[in-house]
Chains A and B, each alone.
Chain A
Amino acid sequence: MPTVQLNNIRKAYDTKVAVEGLSLTIEPGTMFGLLGPNGSGKTSSIRMMVGITVPDSGTVQLFDKPFERKALERVGYLPEERGLYKKMNVLEQIIFMGKLRGLSAAVAEQRAKQWADRLQITDALPKKTEELSKGMQQKIQFITTLIHEPDLVIMDEPFSGLDPVNGALLQDTLLELRAAGKSILFSTHRMDQVEKMCDAIAIIYQGKLILEGTMRDIKREYPRNRVEVIYEGDNGFLNHAVVDEVKHFGTGSASLKLRGDTPDAQPLLAEAVARGTRITRFEVKEPTLEEIFIERVGGRVDA
């Protein structure tokens, strides 16, 4: 029973096609990353999932049912551009958002206090929102997104503008939510984050889906043709016949791409040892998501 299912949706504004032929599925208990460069249609897709806009064609299904506004009470949405009522008292603001999602005032207040305690912003609760720092406001916004314990959490660029401490805090929170069986979808253009956290991804580019699947499946499609090396001494081994491309990062560190569909890095290592080069790191791995992305998108840019 998928949490979110988009079937061949299309959305055009005036003359610009924002999303075209997009289909994707998000299973419960997964962390889903929606990737793509700026202006590729991530926000447009998300807005259709939360009922801000309606697709021109295609269907949106939430919790295995055709889209209905009632289902939005089970969705927590954090838009890319954050916004709170500036003149409102923080606690009241959280309670207000909770009530709009069908909570009683008492329950909302209790949860607000728990969350505030956890994110260490209890002091901020009686203040006006505009008196708080930006980081504090971000935390408040997270609480308002999660106050009704949604089964589906949708966050548009949640990590943008966060300092490392708060970024880590958010990451932990999201991982906990996944452990509790919630589905999480977030959009980002930071590939490293996705690689670490996500179970499944979709990459969209110019409104079209160019890659979708679980992290494992996607990686499996690509040969383990990347080698990270850190070495001391002679670098002659880098000119070995299996090496296709070399990226040097200063002296003694390089990233290699090997030739062929089933490359073998063993001869390269043997060559290095034969030349007497000291190897402190030699790691064979799949291409990173970033490389896959560039490879997929790169071809289309030319087209």
Chain B
Amino acid sequence: MRNIFLIARREYLERVRTRGFMVATILIPLLMGGGIATSILIAKHAKSSSHIVIVSSDLALATDVEKQLNTDTDRNMQLNVIAPPSENTRPALQRELKAKDIDGYLWITPSAQDDQKPGIEYRQGSSADLATRDTVRSALSRVLTRERLAKRGMSAAEVETLMAPVDMNAANEEQDNTTASFAGAYVLFFLMYMVIMLYGMNVARSIIEEKTSRVFEVMLATVKPSEMMAGKVIGVGSVGLTQVSLWMLAAVILTATPLMTHLLGGGTHISISAQQVVFFIIYFLLGYLLYSSIAAALGAMTNSEQELQQLNMFLVMPLAFCMVTLPLVLNAPQNVWSRILSIVPFFSPLLMYMRISVSPVPWYEIAISIVLMMVAIYAVIWIASRIYRVGILMYGKKPNLPEILRWMKYS
């Protein structure tokens, strides 16, 4: 145990002290903040502030459209109404459009008959300004719908009620919970995926590095290969955990600022219970350890980064499989398949967590999944250390599967 701790400590300190670690730790939250700021800016900009001229022979219709556009854009748009148009209105508008005095004009020709749609022509200076186009279109369709409803004999009040936006009041307790669990599982999935891809592979890399720098021989004359593997998995793993927790902390701080709460104002509320948090942490840690151990085995099998890349899929595939089966488990958490899959060690971190969040799971199934994961971690490290010990004695050659199986028998 002392040796595992010493090795883990060394790996941890060596990595945490590097400039790369510091830069990444600081830079990523900055980028996150930057990203959020940019998206706010874009969101603001998306509310069009263009200068549009509305032309129609029907003054009432034109002012209706103007009013609607004003409400839709919080009076950010500069609007002019020309009604009715004269002979040279169109050439004048074209000129202004070319000179960029206006950003576009909307030409509405009222229909001769009542049940026909009016002719609408919209000219824009910059065809790429999709936001403005959309704003104009939606305003126009609302106005025209309202007008047609009024023509059918509805009162203005009736039309207003009819056109009021739908208020979705998701008061259903169950529903809310599922959404939250689903979100929780997705967060867990992406967190695991990211951390495993970023740091799990570091475990493999550190093992390869030890082979190329040839430190392993001295190390193996002092410690057991399994201690070495365990130390590396824990040490390199903790680096990832440190960084991710720092990032999450930064994210929490960022999203907690008044600015953010204002912007997200009344947005999605995800409530997670304390029990869920505990399971989240347990399954995340065990899953992370398990996948890091697999990475360690991959590192033990290979001699270079390139070879390692080819074996990447052994890490990604089980995760991808979880993603595919996630809907099944979500829809039928008590299904036999769901129950079996969720206690398979490679899948339990995601699937069992999902089941626990969605529906009550018997305690013994939870216990089995946790015990099986621990056994799997131990077994994978044991296998990895076997492969490692024999693998280093035959450097330069990439092993094939029968050879690896034979290595297991060696001591």
A residues sitting closer than 8 Å to B (CB atoms) are 13-14, 47, 50-54, 69, 72, 75, 77-79, 81-88, 96-97, 99-101, 144-145
Contacts and interface: CB of A to CB of B under 8 A. Distances in A.
Contact of B215 (A14, A69, A85): A85
B221 to A, nearest CB: 4
B405 to A, nearest CB: 13
Given A77-B218, A87-B14, A100 B223 contact: yes
A75 B214 CA distance: 19
B302 to A, nearest CB: 18
27 contacts: A13-B394, A50-B221, A51-B220, A52-B217, A52-B389, A53-B389, A53-B393, A77-B217, A77-B221, A77-B222, A78-B218, A79-B214, A79-B218, A79-B221, A83-B217, A84-B215, A85-B14, A85-B215, A88-B14, A96-B6, A97-B222, A100-B7, A100-B219, A100-B222, A100-B223, A101-B222, A144-B218
A53 B411 CA distance: 7
Contacts of A88: 10, 14
Nearest to A80: B217
Nearest to A69: B224
B221 A51 contact: yes
A79 B89 CA distance: 92
B217 A99 contact: no
B10 A83 contact: no
Interface string B380-411: 00000000010001100000000000100001
A99 B6 contact: yes
B310 interface: no
B291 interface: no
B145 interface: no
Given A85-B14, A87-B14, A52 B213 contact: no
B3 interface: yes
A145 B215 CA distance: 12
A91 to B, nearest CB: 13
Given A53-B393, A99-B6, A100-B6, A84 B213 contact: yes
Range class of the B interface residue count = 20 to 34
Mostly helix, strand, loop or mixed at chain B's interface?
A: helix
Nearest to A85: B215
Contact of B213 (A51, A77, A86, A101): A86
A123 to B, nearest CB: 21
Contact of B216 (A50, A83, A145): A83
A144 to B, nearest CB: 7
- For the complex of A and B, the 8 pairs showing the least CB-CB separation, nearest first, are A83-B214, A79-B217, A50-B221, A83-B215, A77-B221, A81-B214, A52-B220, A54-B411
A144 B3 CA distance: 16
A53 B217 CA distance: 11
Contacts of A83: 213-218
Contacts of B223: 100
A99 B390 CA distance: 26
Contacts of A52: 217, 220-221, 389
Contacts of B214: 79, 81-83
Nearest to A52: B220
Contacts of A81: 214, 217
Contact of B393 (A13, A51, A96, A99): A13
Nearest to A141: B218
Interface in B1-60: 3, 6-7, 10, 14, 18
A38 to B, nearest CB: 16
A141 B14 CA distance: 19
B149 to A, nearest CB: 74
Pick the most buried of A13, A54, A79: most chain B CB atoms within 10 A of its CB: A79
Pick the most buried of B3, B6, B222, B389: most chain A CB atoms within 10 A of its CB: B222
Contacts of B217: 52, 77, 79, 81, 83
Nearest to B406: A14
B394 A72 contact: no
A145 B214 CA distance: 15
Contacts of B215: 83-85
Contact of B221 (A13, A72, A86, A87): A72
A231 to B, nearest CB: 51
Contacts of B220: 50-52
Contacts of A75: 221
A186 to B, nearest CB: 15
Given A79-B218, A84-B213, 17 more contacts: A14-B394, A50-B220, A51-B221, A52-B220, A52-B389, A69-B224, A77-B218, A79-B221, A81-B214, A81-B217, A83-B213, A83-B218, A85-B14, A87-B14, A97-B218, A100-B3, A101-B222
A50 B220 CA distance: 8
Nearest to B407: A14
Interface string B240-252: 0000000000000
Contacts of A47: 393
Pick the most buried of A75, A100, A101: most chain B CB atoms within 10 A of its CB: A100
Pick the most buried of B218, B223, B224: most chain A CB atoms within 10 A of its CB: B218
Interface string B199-237: 000000000000001111111111110000000000000
A145 B217 CA distance: 12
Interface in B347-406: 389, 393-394, 406
A82 B212 CA distance: 11
Contacts of B7: 100
Nearest to A50: B221
A41 to B, nearest CB: 13
A81 B218 CA distance: 10
A14 B402 CA distance: 12
Pick the most buried of A85, A88, A144, A145: most chain B CB atoms within 10 A of its CB: A85
